[in-house]
Amino acid sequence: MPRFIDSSPEPREPSLIGVLLVNLGTPQAPTAAAVRPYLRQFLSDPRVVEIPALFWQPILRGLILPLRSGASARKYASIWGKDGSPLRHWTEKQAKLVKGRLGMRHGQTLRVAYAMRYGEPSIAAALDALCEQGCERILLVPLYPQYAASTTATACDAVFARLARYRNQPALRTLRSFHDDAGYIDALAQQVRQHWQHEGRGEHLLMSFHGVPRFTWEKGDPYYLQCRQTAAALAQALGLPEGHHTLAFQSRFGRTEWLQPYTADTLVKLARSGVRELDVICPGFVADCLETLEEIALEGKQAFLNAGGRTLRYIPALNDSERWLDALIQLIERELAGWLTPAAASHGS
Protein backbone atom coordinates (compact mmCIF):
# COMPACT_ATOMS: atom_id res chain seq x y z
CA MET A 1 0.00 0.00 0.00
CA PRO A 2 1.49 3.41 -0.95
CA ARG A 3 2.41 5.65 1.92
CA PHE A 4 0.66 8.71 0.52
CA ILE A 5 -2.82 9.14 -0.93
CA ASP A 6 -2.51 10.55 -4.43
CA SER A 7 -4.96 12.84 -6.20
CA SER A 8 -5.41 14.36 -9.62
CA PRO A 9 -2.83 17.09 -10.40
CA GLU A 10 -5.41 18.98 -12.43
CA PRO A 11 -6.69 22.10 -10.59
CA ARG A 12 -10.42 22.32 -10.01
CA GLU A 13 -12.32 25.52 -10.57
CA PRO A 14 -13.76 26.97 -8.53
CA SER A 15 -11.90 25.81 -5.45
CA LEU A 16 -14.45 24.61 -2.89
CA ILE A 17 -14.61 24.97 0.88
CA GLY A 18 -15.49 21.95 3.02
CA VAL A 19 -17.13 22.01 6.45
CA LEU A 20 -16.75 18.85 8.51
CA LEU A 21 -18.96 18.45 11.58
CA VAL A 22 -17.61 15.85 14.03
CA ASN A 23 -19.36 14.22 16.98
CA LEU A 24 -18.27 11.50 19.38
CA GLY A 25 -19.71 8.35 17.84
CA THR A 26 -22.11 5.49 18.28
CA PRO A 27 -22.26 1.75 17.65
CA GLN A 28 -23.97 0.58 14.49
CA ALA A 29 -26.61 -1.35 16.42
CA PRO A 30 -27.73 -1.83 20.04
CA THR A 31 -26.14 -5.26 20.30
CA ALA A 32 -23.12 -6.57 22.18
CA ALA A 33 -21.50 -7.57 18.88
CA ALA A 34 -21.78 -3.99 17.56
CA VAL A 35 -20.97 -2.25 20.85
CA ARG A 36 -17.75 -4.18 21.47
CA PRO A 37 -15.68 -2.79 18.53
CA TYR A 38 -17.05 0.68 19.22
CA LEU A 39 -16.00 0.53 22.87
CA ARG A 40 -12.64 -0.95 21.90
CA GLN A 41 -11.90 1.96 19.57
CA PHE A 42 -13.19 4.53 22.06
CA LEU A 43 -11.39 3.17 25.12
CA SER A 44 -8.16 2.55 23.19
CA ASP A 45 -7.80 6.27 22.49
CA PRO A 46 -4.89 7.54 24.66
CA ARG A 47 -6.69 10.88 24.93
CA VAL A 48 -9.62 9.11 26.61
CA VAL A 49 -7.73 6.68 28.84
CA GLU A 50 -4.32 8.03 29.80
CA ILE A 51 -2.84 4.69 30.87
CA PRO A 52 0.08 3.19 28.93
CA ALA A 53 -1.26 0.70 26.40
CA LEU A 54 1.06 -2.03 27.70
CA PHE A 55 -0.87 -2.03 30.98
CA TRP A 56 -4.31 -0.90 29.77
CA GLN A 57 -4.93 -3.11 26.73
CA PRO A 58 -4.89 -6.45 28.62
CA ILE A 59 -7.40 -5.01 31.11
CA LEU A 60 -9.55 -3.55 28.35
CA ARG A 61 -9.64 -6.67 26.21
CA GLY A 62 -9.70 -9.24 28.99
CA LEU A 63 -12.03 -7.57 31.49
CA ILE A 64 -13.71 -4.33 30.42
CA LEU A 65 -14.99 -5.31 26.98
CA PRO A 66 -16.40 -8.72 27.99
CA LEU A 67 -18.19 -7.17 30.98
CA ARG A 68 -19.36 -3.87 29.52
CA SER A 69 -20.37 -4.71 25.97
CA GLY A 70 -23.59 -6.50 26.89
CA ALA A 71 -24.56 -3.99 29.58
CA SER A 72 -23.88 -1.05 27.25
CA ALA A 73 -25.88 -2.74 24.47
CA ARG A 74 -28.91 -2.98 26.76
CA LYS A 75 -28.60 0.71 27.54
CA TYR A 76 -28.40 1.59 23.86
CA ALA A 77 -31.44 -0.60 23.18
CA SER A 78 -33.45 1.43 25.69
CA ILE A 79 -32.99 4.64 23.68
CA TRP A 80 -32.67 3.29 20.12
CA GLY A 81 -35.38 4.80 17.90
CA LYS A 82 -36.96 4.08 14.55
CA ASP A 83 -34.21 6.20 13.01
CA GLY A 84 -31.52 4.20 14.80
CA SER A 85 -28.95 5.85 17.03
CA PRO A 86 -30.25 9.21 18.34
CA LEU A 87 -26.76 10.73 18.19
CA ARG A 88 -26.27 9.76 14.57
CA HIS A 89 -29.81 10.78 13.65
CA TRP A 90 -29.48 14.29 15.11
CA THR A 91 -25.91 14.84 13.88
CA GLU A 92 -26.88 13.79 10.36
CA LYS A 93 -29.92 16.06 10.48
CA GLN A 94 -27.83 18.99 11.71
CA ALA A 95 -25.40 18.44 8.82
CA LYS A 96 -28.22 18.36 6.27
CA LEU A 97 -29.82 21.51 7.65
CA VAL A 98 -26.49 23.34 7.81
CA LYS A 99 -25.75 22.27 4.24
CA GLY A 100 -29.10 23.62 3.07
CA ARG A 101 -28.76 26.93 4.85
CA LEU A 102 -25.18 27.51 3.76
CA GLY A 103 -26.14 26.58 0.22
CA MET A 104 -28.89 29.20 0.22
CA ARG A 105 -26.49 31.84 1.56
CA HIS A 106 -23.35 31.00 -0.41
CA GLY A 107 -24.43 29.10 -3.47
CA GLN A 108 -22.25 26.14 -4.44
CA THR A 109 -19.15 27.43 -2.68
CA LEU A 110 -19.41 25.07 0.29
CA ARG A 111 -19.64 21.35 0.89
CA VAL A 112 -20.82 19.98 4.26
CA ALA A 113 -20.20 16.53 5.72
CA TYR A 114 -20.35 14.91 9.13
CA ALA A 115 -18.30 12.21 10.80
CA MET A 116 -17.91 10.36 14.08
CA ARG A 117 -14.66 10.18 15.99
CA TYR A 118 -15.46 6.56 16.83
CA GLY A 119 -17.54 4.36 14.57
CA GLU A 120 -19.15 5.33 11.29
CA PRO A 121 -19.09 7.46 9.23
CA SER A 122 -15.39 7.78 9.93
CA ILE A 123 -13.38 10.98 9.86
CA ALA A 124 -11.04 9.49 7.26
CA ALA A 125 -13.89 8.64 4.89
CA ALA A 126 -15.53 12.05 5.30
CA LEU A 127 -12.25 13.89 4.66
CA ASP A 128 -11.54 11.79 1.59
CA ALA A 129 -15.01 12.54 0.22
CA LEU A 130 -14.65 16.29 0.72
CA CYS A 131 -11.25 16.34 -0.99
CA GLU A 132 -12.51 14.19 -3.87
CA GLN A 133 -15.22 16.81 -4.42
CA GLY A 134 -12.54 19.46 -4.83
CA CYS A 135 -12.38 21.04 -1.37
CA GLU A 136 -8.98 22.67 -1.04
CA ARG A 137 -9.90 24.41 2.23
CA ILE A 138 -11.64 22.61 5.10
CA LEU A 139 -13.09 23.84 8.37
CA LEU A 140 -13.25 21.23 11.14
CA VAL A 141 -16.16 21.79 13.55
CA PRO A 142 -16.03 19.47 16.58
CA LEU A 143 -19.54 19.60 18.04
CA TYR A 144 -18.31 20.00 21.62
CA PRO A 145 -19.11 23.41 23.10
CA GLN A 146 -16.47 23.05 25.83
CA TYR A 147 -12.92 22.13 24.82
CA ALA A 148 -11.45 18.95 26.30
CA ALA A 149 -8.42 16.97 25.22
CA SER A 150 -10.58 13.82 25.28
CA THR A 151 -13.13 15.26 22.85
CA THR A 152 -12.05 18.25 20.74
CA ALA A 153 -8.34 17.43 20.69
CA THR A 154 -8.81 13.79 19.73
CA ALA A 155 -11.10 14.81 16.86
CA CYS A 156 -8.30 17.05 15.63
CA ASP A 157 -5.81 14.21 16.12
CA ALA A 158 -7.84 11.97 13.81
CA VAL A 159 -8.06 14.67 11.14
CA PHE A 160 -4.33 15.42 11.33
CA ALA A 161 -3.51 11.70 11.18
CA ARG A 162 -5.52 11.29 7.99
CA LEU A 163 -4.03 14.39 6.38
CA ALA A 164 -0.56 13.05 7.22
CA ARG A 165 -1.19 10.47 4.49
CA TYR A 166 -2.17 13.04 1.85
CA ARG A 167 0.28 14.06 -0.83
CA ASN A 168 -1.78 17.16 -1.65
CA GLN A 169 -3.14 18.46 1.64
CA PRO A 170 -5.99 20.97 1.89
CA ALA A 171 -5.73 24.07 4.05
CA LEU A 172 -7.28 23.37 7.44
CA ARG A 173 -8.96 25.43 10.14
CA THR A 174 -10.36 24.12 13.43
CA LEU A 175 -13.08 25.47 15.71
CA ARG A 176 -11.68 25.20 19.24
CA SER A 177 -14.79 25.77 21.40
CA PHE A 178 -17.93 27.86 21.69
CA HIS A 179 -18.73 27.52 25.39
CA ASP A 180 -19.45 31.24 25.83
CA ASP A 181 -20.74 32.05 22.35
CA ALA A 182 -23.76 34.35 22.62
CA GLY A 183 -25.77 32.42 20.02
CA TYR A 184 -25.12 29.08 21.72
CA ILE A 185 -26.09 30.44 25.14
CA ASP A 186 -29.22 32.03 23.66
CA ALA A 187 -30.17 28.70 22.05
CA LEU A 188 -29.78 26.91 25.39
CA ALA A 189 -31.85 29.54 27.20
CA GLN A 190 -34.59 29.32 24.57
CA GLN A 191 -34.62 25.54 24.90
CA VAL A 192 -35.20 25.87 28.65
CA ARG A 193 -37.88 28.54 28.27
CA GLN A 194 -39.80 26.48 25.71
CA HIS A 195 -39.64 23.48 27.99
CA TRP A 196 -40.98 25.50 30.90
CA GLN A 197 -43.77 26.84 28.69
CA HIS A 198 -44.92 23.42 27.51
CA GLU A 199 -44.03 21.12 30.42
CA GLY A 200 -44.11 23.40 33.46
CA ARG A 201 -41.26 24.81 35.50
CA GLY A 202 -39.48 22.87 38.21
CA GLU A 203 -38.19 24.24 41.49
CA HIS A 204 -34.55 23.84 40.49
CA LEU A 205 -32.42 23.57 37.32
CA LEU A 206 -29.58 21.06 37.23
CA MET A 207 -26.97 21.60 34.51
CA SER A 208 -25.19 18.29 33.98
CA PHE A 209 -21.99 18.14 31.94
CA HIS A 210 -20.04 15.08 30.89
CA GLY A 211 -17.32 14.35 33.41
CA VAL A 212 -13.58 13.93 32.91
CA PRO A 213 -10.87 12.84 35.40
CA ARG A 214 -9.90 15.58 37.82
CA PHE A 215 -6.20 15.26 36.96
CA THR A 216 -6.90 16.59 33.45
CA TRP A 217 -7.93 19.93 34.99
CA GLU A 218 -4.84 19.93 37.19
CA LYS A 219 -2.67 19.32 34.11
CA GLY A 220 -4.11 22.29 32.20
CA ASP A 221 -7.26 21.11 30.41
CA PRO A 222 -9.67 24.10 30.32
CA TYR A 223 -12.82 21.94 30.27
CA TYR A 224 -13.81 22.47 33.92
CA LEU A 225 -13.49 26.24 33.68
CA GLN A 226 -15.42 26.38 30.40
CA CYS A 227 -18.26 24.29 31.86
CA ARG A 228 -18.50 26.73 34.77
CA GLN A 229 -18.55 29.65 32.34
CA THR A 230 -21.33 28.05 30.29
CA ALA A 231 -23.39 27.32 33.40
CA ALA A 232 -22.96 30.86 34.73
CA ALA A 233 -23.91 32.40 31.37
CA LEU A 234 -27.01 30.21 31.05
CA ALA A 235 -28.13 30.99 34.59
CA GLN A 236 -27.71 34.70 33.88
CA ALA A 237 -29.62 34.46 30.59
CA LEU A 238 -32.49 32.75 32.43
CA GLY A 239 -32.41 35.17 35.34
CA LEU A 240 -31.86 32.37 37.86
CA PRO A 241 -30.73 33.51 41.33
CA GLU A 242 -28.18 31.61 43.42
CA GLY A 243 -29.64 28.53 45.00
CA HIS A 244 -31.97 27.80 42.08
CA HIS A 245 -29.44 26.11 39.82
CA THR A 246 -26.62 23.61 40.20
CA LEU A 247 -23.73 22.43 38.02
CA ALA A 248 -22.70 18.77 38.14
CA PHE A 249 -20.71 16.19 36.14
CA GLN A 250 -21.96 12.81 34.94
CA SER A 251 -20.62 9.60 33.35
CA ARG A 252 -17.88 8.78 35.85
CA PHE A 253 -15.86 5.71 34.85
CA GLY A 254 -13.28 3.82 36.92
CA ARG A 255 -11.91 4.47 40.40
CA THR A 256 -9.99 7.69 39.83
CA GLU A 257 -11.48 10.96 41.04
CA TRP A 258 -13.42 12.88 38.41
CA LEU A 259 -14.68 16.45 38.31
CA GLN A 260 -17.19 17.09 41.08
CA PRO A 261 -19.91 17.36 42.15
CA TYR A 262 -21.10 14.11 40.58
CA THR A 263 -24.52 14.23 38.94
CA ALA A 264 -25.65 10.94 40.52
CA ASP A 265 -24.85 12.23 44.03
CA THR A 266 -26.37 15.63 43.29
CA LEU A 267 -29.70 14.13 42.20
CA VAL A 268 -29.99 12.31 45.53
CA LYS A 269 -28.85 15.36 47.49
CA LEU A 270 -31.40 17.65 45.81
CA ALA A 271 -34.25 15.21 46.44
CA ARG A 272 -33.29 14.78 50.10
CA SER A 273 -33.00 18.54 50.52
CA GLY A 274 -36.68 18.95 49.62
CA VAL A 275 -36.62 19.58 45.87
CA ARG A 276 -39.65 17.77 44.48
CA GLU A 277 -39.71 18.98 40.87
CA LEU A 278 -36.38 19.10 39.06
CA ASP A 279 -35.48 20.19 35.54
CA VAL A 280 -32.24 18.85 34.04
CA ILE A 281 -30.38 20.10 30.96
CA CYS A 282 -27.07 18.82 29.56
CA PRO A 283 -25.42 21.87 27.93
CA GLY A 284 -22.34 19.96 26.77
CA PHE A 285 -24.35 17.83 24.32
CA VAL A 286 -25.74 19.51 21.20
CA ALA A 287 -27.44 16.26 20.16
CA ASP A 288 -29.31 13.77 22.31
CA CYS A 289 -27.45 10.52 22.91
CA LEU A 290 -26.93 7.70 25.39
CA GLU A 291 -25.61 10.06 28.06
CA THR A 292 -28.69 12.28 27.95
CA LEU A 293 -31.54 9.92 27.12
CA GLU A 294 -30.50 6.91 29.18
CA GLU A 295 -28.17 8.20 31.88
CA ILE A 296 -30.23 11.28 32.75
CA ALA A 297 -33.80 10.85 31.46
CA LEU A 298 -34.03 7.20 32.60
CA GLU A 299 -31.39 6.32 35.22
CA GLY A 300 -31.11 9.81 36.68
CA LYS A 301 -34.86 10.18 36.92
CA GLN A 302 -35.18 6.90 38.79
CA ALA A 303 -32.41 7.86 41.22
CA PHE A 304 -34.13 11.18 41.93
CA LEU A 305 -37.50 9.52 42.48
CA ASN A 306 -36.00 6.84 44.71
CA ALA A 307 -34.44 9.54 46.89
CA GLY A 308 -37.80 11.26 47.47
CA GLY A 309 -38.20 13.52 44.45
CA ARG A 310 -41.53 13.64 42.68
CA THR A 311 -40.79 14.75 39.10
CA LEU A 312 -37.63 14.96 37.01
CA ARG A 313 -38.05 16.54 33.59
CA TYR A 314 -35.19 16.20 31.16
CA ILE A 315 -34.87 19.16 28.79
CA PRO A 316 -33.90 17.86 25.31
CA ALA A 317 -30.58 18.76 23.73
CA LEU A 318 -30.42 21.46 21.07
CA ASN A 319 -30.85 18.89 18.26
CA ASP A 320 -32.52 20.72 15.33
CA SER A 321 -33.80 23.80 17.15
CA GLU A 322 -33.89 26.94 15.02
CA ARG A 323 -31.80 29.07 17.36
CA TRP A 324 -29.11 26.42 17.59
CA LEU A 325 -28.93 26.14 13.81
CA ASP A 326 -28.72 29.93 13.58
CA ALA A 327 -25.89 29.90 16.13
CA LEU A 328 -24.05 27.09 14.36
CA ILE A 329 -24.26 28.85 11.00
CA GLN A 330 -22.91 32.05 12.57
CA LEU A 331 -20.04 30.11 14.16
CA ILE A 332 -19.16 28.51 10.84
CA GLU A 333 -19.33 31.76 8.89
CA ARG A 334 -17.21 33.50 11.50
CA GLU A 335 -14.53 30.81 11.27
CA LEU A 336 -14.62 31.00 7.46
CA ALA A 337 -13.82 34.73 7.44
CA GLY A 338 -11.35 35.45 4.65
CA TRP A 339 -12.11 32.20 2.84
CA LEU A 340 -15.56 33.15 1.64
CA THR A 341 -15.37 35.59 -1.26
CA PRO A 342 -17.18 38.92 -0.85
CA ALA A 343 -19.70 37.84 -3.48
CA ALA A 344 -20.36 34.55 -1.73
CA ALA A 345 -20.47 36.15 1.72
CA SER A 346 -23.13 38.63 0.59
CA HIS A 347 -25.17 36.08 -1.38
CA GLY A 348 -28.65 35.79 0.01
CA SER A 349 -28.16 38.48 2.64
Say whether both 109 and 191 belong to one domain: no
What is the per-residue pLDDT for 211?
97
Can you give the CATH number for the domain in which 50 is found?
3.40.50.1400
Would you say residue 10 lies in a domain? no
Say whether both 36 and 170 belong to one domain: yes
Alpha helices (H) along 10-141: 32-43, 53-59, 65-79, 86-106, 123-132
pLDDT in tens, the chain (349 residues): 567 877 666 666 668 999 999 999 999 999 999 999 999 999 999 999 999 999 999 999 999 999 999 999 999 999 999 999 999 999 999 999 999 999 999 887 899 999 999 999 999 999 999 999 999 999 999 999 999 999 999 999 999 999 999 999 999 999 999 999 999 999 999 999 999 999 999 999 999 999 999 999 999 999 999 999 999 999 999 999 999 999 999 999 888 999 999 999 999 999 999 999 999 999 999 999 999 999 999 999 999 999 999 999 999 999 999 999 999 999 999 999 999 865 444 444 4
Domain count of the fold of the chain:
2
Say whether both 255 and 142 belong to one domain: no
C-alpha dihedral, 130 to 334 to 283 to 87, nearest 10°: -10
Would you say residue 73 lies in a domain? yes
Tell me which long-range contacts 216-219 makes (C-beta under 8 A, separation of at least 24): 216/148, 216/149, 216/150, 217/259
Say whether both 175 and 68 belong to one domain: yes
Range of the domain at 141: 16-179+323-346
Residues 206/246, Cβ–Cβ less than 8 Å: yes
Say whether both 63 and 76 belong to one domain: yes
What is the per-residue pLDDT for 346?
45
Say whether both 142 and 52 belong to one domain: yes
Would you say residue 7 lies in a domain? no
Would you say residue 1 lies in a domain? no
Say whether both 151 and 80 belong to one domain: yes
The answer to the question of whether 245 is labelled as a binding residue is: no
What is the per-residue pLDDT for 87?
98
Say whether both 42 and 158 belong to one domain: yes
What is the per-residue pLDDT for 340?
85
Would you say residue 206 lies in a domain? yes
Say whether both 29 and 155 belong to one domain: yes
Would you say residue 164 lies in a domain? yes
Q: Report d(CA 156, CA 174) in Å as an integer.
A: 8
Say whether both 109 and 167 belong to one domain: yes
What is the per-residue pLDDT for 4?
81
Alpha helices (H) along 251-311: 263-272, 290-293, 301-306
What is the per-residue pLDDT for 14?
63
Say whether both 147 and 211 belong to one domain: no
Phi-psi region of 265 (alpha: psi -120 to 50; beta: other; left: phi over 0): alpha
Smallest CA-to-CA distance from 317 within 223, 146, 184, 200 is with: 184
Q: Report d(CA 22, CA 152) in Å as an integer.
A: 9
Q: Report d(CA 16, CA 138) in Å as an integer.
A: 9
Q: Report d(CA 138, CA 203) in Å as an integer.
A: 45
Would you say residue 4 lies in a domain? no
Amino acid at 330: Q
The answer to the question of whether 218 is labelled as a binding residue is: no
Would you say residue 105 lies in a domain? yes
What is the per-residue pLDDT for 116?
98
Can you point out the beta strands (E) in the chain? 16-26, 110-119, 135-142, 171-174, 204-210, 245-250, 277-281, 311-314
Task: Compute CA distances 84 → 39, 67, 71, 145, whole Å.
Answer: 18, 24, 18, 24
Say whether both 32 and 53 belong to one domain: yes
Smallest CA-to-CA distance from 131 within 155, 159, 96, 97 is with: 159
